[in-house]
Chain A
Amino acid sequence: MDKVLGELNGAVYTVGSTLLELSYLLAALLFVYGLKLLSHPETARRGNLWAAGGMVLAMLTTLLLHKNADGGGIPLANVWVILAAIGVGTVAGWIISRRVKMTAMPQLVSLFNASGGAASALVALLEYPNAMEGDINSILVTVLGLIIGTVAFSGSMIAYGKLDGKVGDVMKPFMTYFNLALLVGLIVLAGYLVVSPNPPVQMLWAIYLITALSLLYGVTFVLPIGGADMPVVISLLNALTGVAAAMAGFIYGNQAMILGGILVGAAGMILTILMCKAMNRSLLNVIIGAFGGGGASVQGEEGNIKEITLSDAAVLLSYSHNVVVIPGYGLAVAQAQHIAHELDTLLEGKGVQVRYAIHPVAGRMPGHMNVLLAEADVPYEKLVEMDSINPDMPNVDVAIVIGANDVVNPAAHHDPGSPIYGMPIIEASQAKNVIVMKRGMGKGYAGIENHLFFEDKTRMLFGNAKDTLQKLVTEIKNF
């Protein structure tokens, strides 16, 4: 392995270091291939395993073949320390991923993302003193890796706290300006650090200050963002972690890290843009957070709420031909996915066609509803995307809205003053009858009235979605 193969740009290279680079190439290809397979339902599971294989390969060859600048390999004692640390992370990661409830998936993705961001930030922080003096590029990537990794870490922790209900939304008018000032301060400080002629060791105060400011920025950046915007934020934080890893890749000149990181960054960015499109808002608008506060929308014409009894709902559903269920975050909170599936099998048994209409941003992360309903064994042919179901909505006998609000709010079409004006919605109001299951008359996350609830064909069933569905199922069974 230590046999010298030749010399390039004044440095000799051995069989070992050549094999290491080859393994990185293979790992990078496996990441690409895995991600490609992950984007098709048939091959997704294999894709995930291929990508994981690439990761294991890169880890093993690094451990065995990596040499420092003096040509020294990783000493055996260090190998044991590394294996022990990896062992701890593996056991913890495995247990958490097996035990977590499917309803808690958005929190979990945020938590793992936070931990990836923290790892990137720590690596950048520890490598900073080794950055080459006067080498703008090496200092730049280190500082960028530190800032992006730290923001991804603290931002994801706040997102985790919010999704888990531990942290509330905090939106104060001054926060936009505060965040802007913080961001400008960070950029100025980072710029100063990069162009400063002092050796990195003398600039440690600045690097610690940058770390602290980045931690703070991650917190104040995610805090004001409302629950309905969570899918955008989670995808964005995901992209950031990828970019942070890529920056660390530049520190080490490691192509597998660079390619893997940028790939994740690009994928995360696409999801972010997709989510923004589904809400008809710009990314900037989500980040600055114009939502929620601007409730200057029409309030006057509220009209009457009409409730429906469980037995009437049971009769209505049993005599329908075509029913569409529109799930939202309320379904996830109540963990009502299994009982929703029980309702749809029961109705199918009576010859009723039941489909689920999935809005792209329903729930708290991209694809949230799909995961939940898959857990409850709802066949995915029954899950219909918004654009496919909307033309068929006038033929639907009953639309059941379970714990969704803004994604069916007709104000998106009619009310230019509404914060969600222009957002594509599922046209529940086009159905012949609408049943809305809701905990109470509270407004949605966007804090806007929903005129769908006041329409003549709309009937309300108040209560926890799971309890209500349970009672409804019993009622239909007895019918």
Chain B
Amino acid sequence: MESALQFFFTYKEAIFIIALSIFLGIEVISNVPAVLHTPLMSGANAISGVIIIGGIILVGHTDLSTFSLNLVLGILALIFGTLNVVGGFAVTDRMLEMFKKKKK
């Protein structure tokens, strides 16, 4: 019991963020019409590409003077992350464009 309380106190900020983000995510998304299920999923998918920030930090502070497996994997992470971000947002836009077109 005591250690659980300690854990909460030590990481209280993180726990606050998680709890509120989950609530926010649920509030923002609920009651979305079925028409938008796919674009919403693919747009959210693109947001999960935020991992690219991690990739930038990682490769940004990797020593370039020696060739290392870490560098290669870091670059790979960056490429994958960008693919997720750019592809995700672009394809969502393309889908939503179709929804728009026929509204006229």
Contacts and interface: CB of A to CB of B under 8 A. Distances in A.
B93 A109 contact: no
Contacts of A126: 58, 70, 73-74, 77
Contacts of A44: 36, 39-40, 96, 99
A367 B44 CA distance: 14
Contact of A86 (B41, B45, B78): B78
Contacts of B18: 246, 258, 262
B73 A48 contact: no
A41 B38 CA distance: 12
A380 B80 CA distance: 34
A82 B49 contact: no
Contact of A261 (B42, B50, B88, B99): B50
A112 B83 contact: yes
Contacts of A258: 14, 17-18, 21
Contact of B44 (A66, A85, A238, A256): A238
A90 B82 contact: yes
Interface in A367-412: 367-368, 370-371, 374-375, 377-380, 383, 385
Contacts of A379: 102-103
B26 A127 contact: no
Most chain B CB neighbours (cut-off 10 Å) among A45, A93, A127, A385: A93
B48 to A, nearest CB: 4
A231 B58 CA distance: 34
B10 interface: yes
B25 A93 contact: no
Contact of A371 (B32, B38, B93): B38
A238 B43 CA distance: 11
A52 B64 CA distance: 30
Contacts of B94: 97-98
A72 B95 CA distance: 42
Contact of B28 (A35, A234, A265, A377): A35
Contacts, number: 358
Interface string A12-44: 000000000000000000011011101111001
A270 B40 CA distance: 11
Q: From DSSP, what is the main secondary structure of chain B's interface residues?
A: helix
Contacts of B74: 122, 126
Contacts of A378: 102
A151 interface: no
A116 B81 contact: yes
B26 A366 contact: no
Contacts of B92: 48
Interface residues of B, number: 80
Contacts of B82: 85-86, 88-90, 93
A259 interface: yes
A120 interface: yes
A260 B48 CA distance: 7
A374 B39 CA distance: 12
Given A78-B64, A115-B80, A380-B35, A93 B90 contact: yes
Nearest to B76: A122
B37 A41 contact: no
A250 B10 CA distance: 14
A371 to B, nearest CB: 5
A403 B80 CA distance: 35
Interface in A71-95: 72, 74-75, 77-79, 81-82, 85-86, 88-90, 92-94
Contacts of A38: 36, 39-40, 43-44
Interface string B2-28: 000000001100100110011111101
Interface string A44-86: 1101110110010011001100101000101101110110011
Given A89-B82, A238-B41, A261-B50, A59 B56 contact: yes
Nearest to B91: A97
Interface of A: 31-32, 34-36, 38-41, 44-45, 47-49, 51-52, 55, 58-59, 62-63, 66, 68, 72, 74-75, 77-79, 81-82, 85-86, 88-90, 92-94, 96-98, 100, 102, 105, 108-109, 112-113, 115-116, 118-120, 122-123, 125-127, 137, 234-235, 238, 241-242, 244-246, 248-252, 254-271, 274, 358, 360, 365-368, 370-371, 374-375, 377-380, 383, 385
8 contacts: A55-B46, A89-B79, A102-B98, A246-B18, A262-B22, A365-B41, A383-B35, A385-B34
Closest A-B pairs by Cβ, 9 of them? A89-B82, A266-B25, A367-B37, A93-B87, A93-B86, A366-B37, A74-B60, A262-B21, A116-B84
Given A72-B61, A123-B58, A360-B37, 14 more contacts: A31-B47, A39-B28, A85-B59, A89-B83, A93-B85, A109-B38, A116-B49, A126-B73, A244-B48, A245-B54, A252-B53, A261-B51, A377-B101, A378-B102
